[in-house]
Amino acid sequence: MSAPRLNVAEWLARRAALAEIQRRADDAANADRGRKCGARTRAGSPCRCKPEPGKARCKLHGGKSTGPKSAEGRARISAAQIARRRT
């Protein structure tokens, strides 16, 4: 038993719908692949690194924090962590 034959208009409509589904799947799969850091190097070319998740810059251009360096900054962070643990 063979499948029922489609007329040309039905076949084209089905083909267009499947193409749209495939295009959306490809867009979703490639959404993060093309993202770049956006910073400029000293030579003037764009940075080619991937940005950190949820950030706009790579780890070299401000995507990752190295934490507080001064004694006052470390004390401020320590106090904030203690306050957060108490709630």
Higher model confidence: residue 28 or residue 80? 80
Higher model confidence: residue 13 or residue 26? 13
Examine the pLDDT at 2 and tell me if it is beyond 60. yes
Residue-level pLDDT at 42: 84
Average pLDDT over the chain reads 82
Residue 46: DSSP 8-state: B
28-46 pLDDT, tens per residue? 666 656 778 888 888 888 8
In terms of phi and psi (left: phi > 0; alpha: psi -120 to 50; beta: otherwise), the region of 4 is beta
20-30 pLDDT, tens per residue? 988 887 776 66
Q: Are 40 and 47 in contact (CB under 8 A)?
A: yes
pTM of the model: 0.36
